[in-house]
Copies of this chain bind each other. A is one copy, B any other.
Amino acid sequence: MPDPFLRKLEAYAPLRIESRREIEKLTSRIEHLGTHADISYEDEEFRTVAVLLSGWASLYKLLPDGRRQITALLLPGDLCDPNVLLPAATNPCVSALTPVTLAKLSVAAIRAMAASSPDLAEALHWQAMVALNIQREWTVSLGRRSAAERIAHLLCEVWTRLDMVGLANVSDCGLPLTQGDLADAMGSSTVHVNRVLRDLRVDGLAEVHGRRLVILDRQRLANLAMFDPAYLHRHKDNP
Q: Which A positions have Cβ atoms within 8 angstroms of B?
A: 59, 61, 63-65, 67-69, 71-72, 82-87, 89-92, 115, 118, 121, 125-126, 128-129, 131-133, 135-136, 138-140, 142-145, 184-187, 226, 228, 230-231, 233
CB distance from A156 to the nearest CB of B (A): 14
Question: With A143-B69, A143-B186 as given contacts, are A90 and B135 in contact (CB-CB < 8 Å)?
Answer: no
Sampled A-B contacts (5; CB under 8 Å): A84-B129, A85-B125, A91-B230, A115-B118, A143-B185
Identify the closest chain B residue to A124 (Cβ). B125
Given contacts A85-B125, A135-B136, A139-B135, whether A231 and B59 have CB atoms under 8 Å apart is no
Please judge, given known A-B contacts A91-B228, A226-B64, whether A139 and B86 are in contact too, CB under 8 Å: no
Contact A144 B68, beta carbon cutoff 8 Å: yes
Q: Given contact pairs A63-B145, A115-B115, A115-B121, enumerate 16 new A-B contacts (beta carbons under 8 Å).
A: A63-B226, A65-B226, A71-B136, A82-B136, A83-B129, A83-B233, A84-B125, A86-B129, A87-B233, A89-B133, A89-B233, A92-B136, A92-B231, A142-B142, A142-B143, A143-B184
Give the docked Cα–Cα distance between A231 and B59 (Å).
Answer: 14
Query: Are the CB atoms of B187 and A67 closer together than 8 Å?
Result: no
Nearest-CB distance from A12 to chain B (Å)? Answer: 8
Query: Which listed residue, B69, B126, B135, B136, touches A144 by the CB 8 Å rule?
Result: B69
Q: Which residues of B contact A135 (CB under 8 A)?
A: 132, 135-136, 139
Are the CB atoms of B187 and A142 closer together than 8 Å? yes
